[in-house]
């Protein structure tokens, strides 16, 4: 396969550099005063046979493309394109994209190391980590850093010819000709790695109370939140060994568990657990344990995560933490208690069936909803039969309420009901004012689009949401809000009421296959 380096081998490095500075031949090489630092005696050497230059004064070196990128203050790829145009050389398209990504990954790794070094010079960040019980071994394992001097960071990237390319990652914003704003300035920084261990993004935690408390890198060519799980690179071998992945919500939830020796953990990056996440995990193991905060938001996260996991045939266990606790706080205060909770966790279906036996109507609604995402029709039937036996409701009535997924459409089709489609279009057009997401029953697909609208990630919003054609969108948006609103516990019908309704309805005859 053609490489992006093929055109470079055809470029005469002496011809390129001599068009910028005066070179003097000495034997088989050329020398000059270095253009990148004050140089009284020539310390800049060019080797035509090797196709490289090297300054023995300031240490800078590289090929012809690197020289142009440094001299012109442009990124490596732009320099390559200029030289290819000047010398009438073709650059393979696939190689171009691959190399651009490679250079961006190199820049991200370099920035991660820079932040890691900056941490050692910041007492506030080190004290914060100490207060959270994070030791030096863990700091090094996750290359935790601190966003210090933006000037030093930009100088480092400029010297490597990577400044403009890194700017395109969105982590660094150009304010004016010589000024940049680092997105992670004055934040504690946690690098995010892909499955191969490459740094692809950063998470930043504010230390001075500024909001938002946590931020993540914008999405880029190498970073997509929906297919990235924090900690998967570090934890994948432990996950395989345990046969189960523990899913937590935050960076420090995972880091604290890891430090306690619970290392088979992953965490989404500010999003609900997506279908892609579930697919990634299903290639490694067959069991997942959800370990979320004990608050209302944590319980909502469980409801949004379970369907995607069930669709991929995964067995799902759930730990509901005590109110006010999260994995990070509990493992630091009561590690033994947390381990006992993990060990005694039951499958979500078993847990919900028990709550239904106790008359819990919310558990009844949740389990019926989850049944619609179980691809195994026999398992789904057995669950519905158990619900029927507990509640006294006919199984035919329950089957009518379950949304089947045996022929699930492709992901890009975004299977949405009418009210979900109108609701999302209204959110996109009118915003979130007056909308309480906690009150709505939304599918995993709809929740992902809500996140995209909230984060302004318009490329993730389906065209039919953005371009919906309905009469009086504002009115039908309000109608859809009412239709999607979950009944309160008081409004939910009791099992006896449902039984009476069922008796009043004519029974459907079902043909046997």
For residues 232 and 42, give the distance between their C-alpha atoms in angstroms, rounded to a whole number.
Answer: 50
Which of 372, 401, 430 lies at the terminal end of a domain, its last residue? 401
Contact, 117 vs 27, CB < 8 A? no
**CA angle 187–189–195, rounded 5-degree value:** 155
d(CA 281, CA 271): 16
Sheet of 244-247, strands arranged across? 265-266, 244-247, 287-292, 315-320, 346-347
Backbone angles phi, psi at 39, to 5 degrees: -140, 100
CATH number of domain containing 124? 3.90.980.10
Start-end of H helices in 122-274: 123-131, 136-141, 150-159, 163-167, 232-242, 251-259
CATH of the domain at 16: 3.90.580.10
504 located within any domain:
no
Query: 443 in the Ramachandran plot: left (φ > 0), alpha (ψ -120 to 50) or beta?
Result: beta
Instruction: Let me know whether 359 and 457 are in one domain.
Output: no
Tokens 């279908």: give the residue. Answer: 275
d(CA 308, CA 464): 23
Task: Output the furthest CA–CA distance in the chain (Å, rounded).
Answer: 103
Q: Are residues 239 and 366 in the same domain?
A: yes
Whole-angstrom Cα distance, residue 385 to residue 391? Answer: 10
Consecutive H or E run containing 266: strand 265-266
Q: What angle do CA 419, 425, 431 make, to 5 degrees?
A: 115
Q: Name the pLDDT band for 408 (thresholds 50, 70, 90).
A: very low
Q: For all residues of the chain together, what is the average pLDDT?
A: 87
Co-location of 22 and 109 in the same domain: no
Other CB atoms within a 10 A radius of the CB of residue 128 amount to 15
Is residue 186 domain-shared with residue 328, that is, in the same domain?
no
Going by pLDDT thresholds of 50, 70 and 90, the confidence category of residue 472 is confident
Separation CA 17–CA 60 (nearest Å) = 14
What Å distances lie between residue 57 and 54, 144, 211, CA to CA?
A: 9, 33, 45
φ and ψ at residue 270, rounded to 5 degrees: 75, 15
Question: How far apart are the C-alpha atoms of 455 and 429, rounded to whole Å?
Answer: 14
Helix (H) or strand (E) holding 61: strand 61-62
Residue 64: exposed, middle, or buried by beta-carbon count in 10 A (0-12, 13-18, 19+)? buried
Question: Residues 90, 96, 99, 104: is their CA dihedral positive or negative?
Answer: positive
Whether residues 257 and 183 share a domain: the answer is no
Lowest mean pLDDT among 17-21, 96-100, 448-452, 469-473: 96-100
With contact defined as beta carbons under 8 Å apart, do 161 and 79 qualify? yes
CA distance 267 to 248: 5
Q: How confident is the model at residue 488 (pLDDT cuts 50, 70, 90)?
A: low
- Sorted by sequence, the CB contacts under 8 Å of residue 27 that are 6+ apart come out as none
Residues 71 and 147 in one domain: no
Exposed, middle or buried: residue 190 (CB in 10 Å: 0-12, 13-18, 19+)? buried
Lowest mean pLDDT segment, chosen from 50-64, 142-156, 286-300, 379-393: 286-300
DSSP code for 106: H
More confident residue, 100 or 72: 72
Mean pLDDT of 223-251: 95
Could you tell me the CATH number of the domain that includes residue 260? 3.40.1360.10
DSSP alpha helices (H): ranges in 243-288? Answer: 251-259, 275-282
Domain identity same for 292 and 423: no
Q: Examine residue 489 and state whether it is found in any structural domain, yes or no.
A: no
Are residues 264 and 353 both part of a single domain? yes
Does the pLDDT of residue 253 top 60, yes or no? yes
Q: Is the pLDDT score of 411 beyond 70?
A: no
Q: What per-residue string of b and e applies to 278-287 under the rule 16 or more CB within 10 Å gives b?
A: bbbbbebbeb
pLDDT at 304: 81
In a shared domain, residues 173 and 191: yes
In a domain, 512, yes or no: no
Residue 510 falls inside a structural domain: no
The DSSP code for 326 is -
Residue 339 lies in a domain: yes
Cα–Cα distance list, 439 to 28, 54, 442, 485, 489 (Å): 77, 64, 10, 6, 12
Q: Give residue 201's pLDDT.
A: 97
Q: Are 442 and 417 in contact (CB under 8 A)?
A: no
Q: SS3 for 303?
A: helix
Q: Is residue 453 part of a domain?
A: yes
Model confidence pLDDT, tens digit, residues 1-57? 455 566 677 889 999 999 999 999 999 999 999 998 888 889 999 999 999 999 998
What distance lies between CA 240 and its chain's CA centroid? 21
Number of domains in the chain: 4
Q: Cβ–Cβ contacts within 10 Å for residue 248, how many?
A: 26
328 and 394 together in one domain: yes
pLDDT digits (tens, 9 = 90+) for 352-406: 999 999 999 989 988 998 998 898 889 999 999 999 999 999 999 898 888 644 4
The answer to the question of residue 503 being in a domain is no
Cis peptide before 464 (omega within 30 of 0): no
Flag whether pLDDT at 483 surpasses 50. Answer: yes
Per-residue model confidence (pLDDT) at position 509: 56
- Residues with Cβ within 8 Å of residue 18, at least 6 apart in sequence: 30
Residue 185, pLDDT above cutoff 90: yes
Helices (H) and strands (E) in the chain, counts: 24, 16
Q: Which residue has the higher pLDDT, 265 or 411?
A: 265
Q: Containing domain of residue 288, as a range?
A: 232-401
CB proximity list for 119: less than 8 A, separation 6 or greater: 125, 126, 139, 144, 145, 146, 188, 189
């Amino acid at each position: 396969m053609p490489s992006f380096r093929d055109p470079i081998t055809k470029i005469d490095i002496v011809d390129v550099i001599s068009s910028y500075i005066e070179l003097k031949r000495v034997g088989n090489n050329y020398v000059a005063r270095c253009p990148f630092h004050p140089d009284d005696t020539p310390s800049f050497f060019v080797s035509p046979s090797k196709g490289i230059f090297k300054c023995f004064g300031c240490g800078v070196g590289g090929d012809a493309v690197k020289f142009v990128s440094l001299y012109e203050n442009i990124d490596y790829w732009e320099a390559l394109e200029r030289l290819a145009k000047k010398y009438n050389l073709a650059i393979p398209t696939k190689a171009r994209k691959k190399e651009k990504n490679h250079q961006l990954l190199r820049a991200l790794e370099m920035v991660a190391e820079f932040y890691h070094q900056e941490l050692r010079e910041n007492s506030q960040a080190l004290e914060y980590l100490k207060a959270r019980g994070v030791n030096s071994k863990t700091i090094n394992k996750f290359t935790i850093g601190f966003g210090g001097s933006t000037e030093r960071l930009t100088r480092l990237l400029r010297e490597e010819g990577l400044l403009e390319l890194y700017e395109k990652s969105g982590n660094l914003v150009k304010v004016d000709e010589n000024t940049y704003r680092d997105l992670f300035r004055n934040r504690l920084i946690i690098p995010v790695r892909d499955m191969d261990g490459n740094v692809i993004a950063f998470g930043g935690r504010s230390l001075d109370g500024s909001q938002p408390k946590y931020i993540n890198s914008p999405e880029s060519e190498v970073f997509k939140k929906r297919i990235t799980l924090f900690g998967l690179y570090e934890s994948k071998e432990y996950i395989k060994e345990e046969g189960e992945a523990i899913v937590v919500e935050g960076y420090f939830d995972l880091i604290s568990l890891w430090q306690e020796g619970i290392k088979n953990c992953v965490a989404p990056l500010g999003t609900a657990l997506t279908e892609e996440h579930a697919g990634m995990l299903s290639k490694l193991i067959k069991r997942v344990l959800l370990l979320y905060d004990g608050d209302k938001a944590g319980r909502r996260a469980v409801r949004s995560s379970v369907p995607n996991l069930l669709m991929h045939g995964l067995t799902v266990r759930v730990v509901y933490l005590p109110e006010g606790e999260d994995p990070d706080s509990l493992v630091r205060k009561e590690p033994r208690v947390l381990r006992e909770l993990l060990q005694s966790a039951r499958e979500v279906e078993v847990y919900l069936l028990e709550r239904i036996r106790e008359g819990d109507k919310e558990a009844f609604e949740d389990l019926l909803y989850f049944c619609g995402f179980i691809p195994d029709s026999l398992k789904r039937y057995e669950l519905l039969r158990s619900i029927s036996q507990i509640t006294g409701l006919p199984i035919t009535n329950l089957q009518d309420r379950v949304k089947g997924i045996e022929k699930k459409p492709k992901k890009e089709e975004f299977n949405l009901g009418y009210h979900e489609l109108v609701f999302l279009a209204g959110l996109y057009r009118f915003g979130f004012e007056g909308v309480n997401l906690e009150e709505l029953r939304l599918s995993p697909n709809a929740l992902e689009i809500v996140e995209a609208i909230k984060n302004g990630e318009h490329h993730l919003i389906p065209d039919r949401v953005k371009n919906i054609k309905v009469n009086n969108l504002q009115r039908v948006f309000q109608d859809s809000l009412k239709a999607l609103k979950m009944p309160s516990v008081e409004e939910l019908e009791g099992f006896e009421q449902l039984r009476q309704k069922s008796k009043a309805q004519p029974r459907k005859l079902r043909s046997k296959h």
